[in-house]
């Protein structure tokens, strides 16, 4: 089956080593466990140039930059960054699998007959209800859609099998109606701001909208079925099995062996959380080094080496002390002059 990676950098953003390593592992792990699938990369020319610098473009069976040339200008991708991949979905004509570039699946994908196969359920606790999101002019939610929101849990879309292309287009078209010509401002109280991000509009209009429309589709279309790939509900405090009778520790171990998501950890270096950064750098690069021999292509190590050569160095205490001493000496020199 066709498996899609989509990524476009906004403005002059540079891809970091953690993002590059995770995307590389995402491709290699998928190809290792699902050998008959073809991986496509949808991106633009500017982002592709960054991938080509490291040779990551060689990992894909096909690369498409023309689709992004038609991306609508009236969608704010700083507020709705998932719109690039949604645009790719809109341009598909047959069933496919979408895989986030910061997500790694360490298993064979269960390609069964479900119309929609989503990764797992999410607790809606941190999602703003759709009516709290500033809509475009002349846009309004239907009663059925709001009922669908109330009666569903958001569906995690890090990994999705889109088996019913008609439903896929119905969902994506409604998504673009909700995000076009709006900044997605979320109206929340001071108390709500403690657990709902003001920028959470993307999550609601991507993951909870999918759940709402899936609920409605299952009520009106007897041939439509959906299922979670991992029987999990993600809560703010961590993951829980959908079957609460299953021991959490054993379930968590199984999930961790099945998948990995970089998520907010991609900014660990910028946040000066160097311990997390160093651990991830070592762990992800080690996983890539361990999986490459399965492909019998030693040139793949060139990609890993190129990324690691550009990886940012973690400042240590001695370096920081040296910088402080240098700055002090420079200040004294200036004063003495």
Please report which confidence band the pLDDT of residue 320 belongs to, taking 50, 70 and 90 as the band edges.
very low
Residues 237-267 have pLDDT tens digits of 889 999 989 888 888 888 988 999 998 888 9
Question: Which residue, among 56, 60, 102, 25, has the nearest Cα to 294 in the 3D structure?
Answer: 25
Res. 272: pLDDT tops 90: yes
Query: Which single residue is written with the structure tokens 């054993």?
Result: 250
**Distance between CA atoms of residues 113 and 136, nearest Å:** 36
pLDDT averaged over the chain? 92
For 169-206, the pLDDT digits (tens) are 999 999 999 999 999 999 989 898 888 887 799 999 99
Q: Looking at residues 29-50, what average pLDDT do you find?
A: 97
pLDDT at 254: 87
Cβ neighbours around 100 below 10 Å, total: 25
Would you state the pLDDT for residue 232?
94
Residue 73 confidence (pLDDT) above 80: yes
**H helices of 55-91, where?**
83-90
Look-up: residue for tokens 């762990």?
283
pTM: 0.91
* Per-residue pLDDT reduced to its tens digit, 77-128: 999 999 999 999 999 999 999 999 999 999 999 877 799 999 999 999 999 9
Predicted local confidence at residue 318, as pLDDT: 46
Average pLDDT for 40-65: 98
Please state the φ and ψ torsions of residue 153, each to the nearest 5 degrees: -110, 140
Q: What is the pLDDT of residue 324?
A: 46
Distances (CA, A) of 220 to 187, 212, 213, 215, 225: 32, 13, 11, 9, 11
Where are the strands (E) in 148-190, listed by range?
159-162
- The helices-and-strands tally (H runs, E runs) of the chain is 11, 12
**pLDDT of 222 above 50:** yes
- Note the pLDDT tens digit of each residue in 121-168: 999 999 999 999 999 999 999 999 999 999 999 999 999 999 999 999
Residue 214 φ/ψ, nearest 5 degrees: -65, -45
């Amino acid at each position: 089956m066709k498996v899609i990676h989509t990524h476009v950098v906004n403005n002059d953003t540079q891809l970091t080593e953690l993002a590059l390593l995770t995307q590389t592992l995402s491709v290699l792990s998928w190809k290792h466990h699902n050998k008959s699938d073809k991986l496509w990369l949808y991106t633009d020319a500017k982002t592709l140039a960054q991938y080509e610098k490291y040779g990551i473009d060689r990992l894909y069976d096909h690369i498409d930059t023309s689709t992004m040339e038609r991306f609508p200008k009236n969608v704010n991708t700083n507020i709705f960054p998932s719109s690039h991949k949604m645009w790719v979905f809109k341009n598909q004509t047959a069933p496919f699998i979408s895989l986030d570039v910061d997500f790694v699946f360490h298993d064979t994908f269960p390609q069964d007959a479900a119309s929609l196969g989503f990764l797992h359920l999410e607790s809606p606790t941190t999602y703003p209800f759709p009516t709290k999101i500033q809509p475009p002019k002349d846009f309004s939610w239907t009663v059925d859609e709001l009922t669908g929101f109330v009666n569903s849990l958001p569906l995690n879309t890090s990994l999705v099998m889109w088996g019913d292309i008609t439903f896929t287009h119905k969902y994506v078209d409604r998504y673009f109606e909700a995000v076009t010509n709006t900044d997605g401002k979320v109206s929340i109280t001071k108390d709500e701001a403690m657990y709902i991000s003001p920028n959470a509009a993307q999550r609601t209009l991507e993951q909870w909208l999918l759940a709402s429309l899936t609920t409605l589709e299952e009520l009106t279309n007897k041939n439509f079925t959906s299922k979670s790939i991992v029987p999990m509900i993600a809560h703010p405090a961590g993951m829980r099995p959908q079957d609460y009778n299953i021991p959490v520790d054993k379930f968590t171990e199984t999930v961790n062996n099945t998948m990995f998501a970089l998520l907010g950890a991609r900014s660990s270096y910028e946040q000066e959380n160097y311990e997390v950064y160093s651990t991830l750098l070592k762990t992800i690069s080690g996983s890539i080094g361990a999986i490459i021999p399965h492909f019998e292509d030693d040139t793949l190590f060139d990609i890993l080496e190129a990324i690691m050569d550009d990886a940012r160095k973690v400042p240590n205490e001695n370096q920081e002390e040296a910088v402080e001493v240098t700055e002090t000496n420079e200040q004294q020199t200036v004063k003495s002059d």
